[in-house]
Amino acid sequence: MLDKLKGSKKKDKDTPPDLRKGDEKESSDVGGKIKDLVGKMSGNKGDKKGLSASPGDSKKEPKKMPRPMPKPRIKPKTVDKAKLKPRTSAPPKKPGSGIGGGFGRRVPDDDQKTLIGAAVFGIILIILVASGYYFLVYAPYQEDLQSAKDQKITEVNAYYKGSLAVDSERQTLLDEINNGVTREEVLAIDVIGPATKAWRVYQNQQINTKKDRFGRVMVVYSTDTQSSTDTSDQSTISQKNVILKVSEAQKFVNQSDATVLANMEIQTPDTVAVPIMISRLQAAGGLISVGNSVDVYLKQAPAESTGNNTTEQQPTTTSQSNTPDISGATVLAILRAKDSGTIDANLINSQKYTLDSLTSQSERAQTSSTDVEQLLRAAASGGFNEAETTALLQNYGIKLSDYERASNLGELDAQYLVLLEVPRENVLFLIQNMDSVMLTVPTQQAPTWMIQELRKIYG
């Protein structure tokens, strides 16, 4: 601005305005120019001469310009070195910084105790509720679930054993049981169905593989025999054998489930023919014939021992098993004692008619006296016609038993020699208990005469 007042236009754009105070004047010309400028701004127009000629103007002071406000100086920020040092101790605790201190006022001691007691009571209540839920609801539920899983796992192990112990279906069932989340879901898993299907396939394959040249197989199974004495009860597990035709064995397998099929084994028959001498009562009443299938049971009578004029009766042992000791034994031959072959019979028919003094009398007598054993010897030596002798004596013992059965009269004291086909492991048992065995005829494999009688009885 001073440059403009001086009339200097050089570097007017680059030179900043001078804001110095009014009393600092460069020269006397500057004051005159200021007066002219003030006069123009105040509205007094006139030339320079007129202004200077007025007498009052020289005494008047020029009007002061308003002093501009100085800009505030920004002081540089100084960093306190003490604040840069790391804090080695905790800051001092402000008063009232306890419970409720964060809200700007100190909580009274009684209220603090009440709040602490409420918090402790709430924690204890939560612990009691959680413990009650665990012991009364969660733990019993988990026990029931684990019990159901153990039951199903035991069932799987009972059915998938032996040859099926490594079956893939077994692992699938175990995974399904372990993944069950509820007791009902675990108990609903079907174990016996897949096991039965797998065992039927396996046992039918064994039948076709293990059959002998006569078209038979031997089924080996286990039974639990309860033996009771006067002093104690004992339980023993024994193996039983039964010989079946291939068709019968296949029918049996297809009709049984895993509870039976998992506890049986198909083997090739290994049999021995054993002769035993038994009474007629033991020989199924003497009404069995060659080819019949019989079951062998064992009867045991109490044993008595005598000593020092005292008789002590030994504990009686009875078998409570419903299964025979030998099943499916085949009768290969049966011989009756020769006392039944002694024949001495007389048959006399007499008729007498009397009319007035005339009398008519007729008499017919038949006498038979022979010894079948001697007749057999004569036929064997060639003394008799072999064809005629064979026709007369064929199945003599069986025919005799049939006649006795039909007449309800027979020789009950007859002795029988029976040749039985039994598995090899039962030979010693049969020989040692010859006097105590009982031969029975199962009705499912009954002889022809028994089937006819059953049909007559039951229509």
Q: Is residue 290 part of a domain?
A: yes
Query: Is residue 367 located within the same domain as residue 454?
Result: no
Q: Six-digit token pair at 91? A: 């800051």
Indicate whether 456 and 356 sit together in one domain.
Answer: no
399: enclosing H helix or E strand? helix 396-407
Contact 302, 310 (CB under 8 A): no
- Find the domain containing 376 and state its range: 340-394
Q: Of 394, 422, 439, which closes a domain?
A: 394
- CA dist 430 and 436 (Å) reads 9
User: pTM for this one?
Assistant: 0.56
Sequential pLDDT tens for the chain (459 residues): 445 545 555 455 555 555 554 544 444 565 666 667 666 655 554 444 444 444 444 445 566 666 776 666 666 655 555 555 555 565 655 555 554 445 556 768 778 888 888 899 999 999 999 988 888 888 888 999 999 999 999 999 999 998 899 999 999 999 999 999 899 999 999 999 999 999 999 999 999 999 999 999 999 887 665 555 555 555 566 778 888 899 999 999 999 999 999 999 999 999 999 999 999 999 998 888 888 999 999 987 544 544 444 444 444 444 456 778 888 899 999 888 776 555 555 556 666 666 666 666 666 665 555 666 666 666 677 666 777 777 666 667 767 777 787 777 778 888 899 999 999 999 999 999 999 999 999 988 888 888 888 898 997
276 shares its domain with 327: yes
Instruction: Let me know whether 380 and 422 are in one domain.
Output: no
The answer to whether residue 286 sits within a structural domain is yes
Name the residue with tokens 């005469």: 449
Q: Indicate the residue type of 242.
A: V
* 369 and 329 part of one domain: no
Beta bridge partners of 362: 351
In a domain, 112, yes or no: no
Predicted local distance difference test score (pLDDT) of residue 49 = 44
On the CB side of 179, CA atoms within 13 Å amount to 7
Please indicate, yes or no, if residue 371 is contained in any of the structural domains: yes
For residues 416 and 283, the answer to whether their CB atoms sit within 8 Å is: yes
* Residue-level pLDDT at 147: 92
Q: Are 319 and 423 contained in the same domain?
A: yes
Both 420 and 456 in a single domain? Answer: yes
d(CA 378, CA 376): 5
Domain total of the chain: 3
Q: Is 344 domain-assigned?
A: yes
Tell me if 140 is assigned to some domain. no
Same domain, 347 and 445: no
Q: Please indicate, yes or no, if residue 146 is contained in any of the structural domains.
A: no
Of 394, 424, 439, which closes a domain? 394
Q: Is there a domain that residue 120 lies in?
A: no
Domain boundary among 45, 67, 89: 67
- CB environment 12-50: b (16+ within 10 A), e (fewer): eeeeeeeeeeeeeeeeeeeeeebbeeebeeeeeeeeeee
Same domain (yes/no): 364, 353 = yes
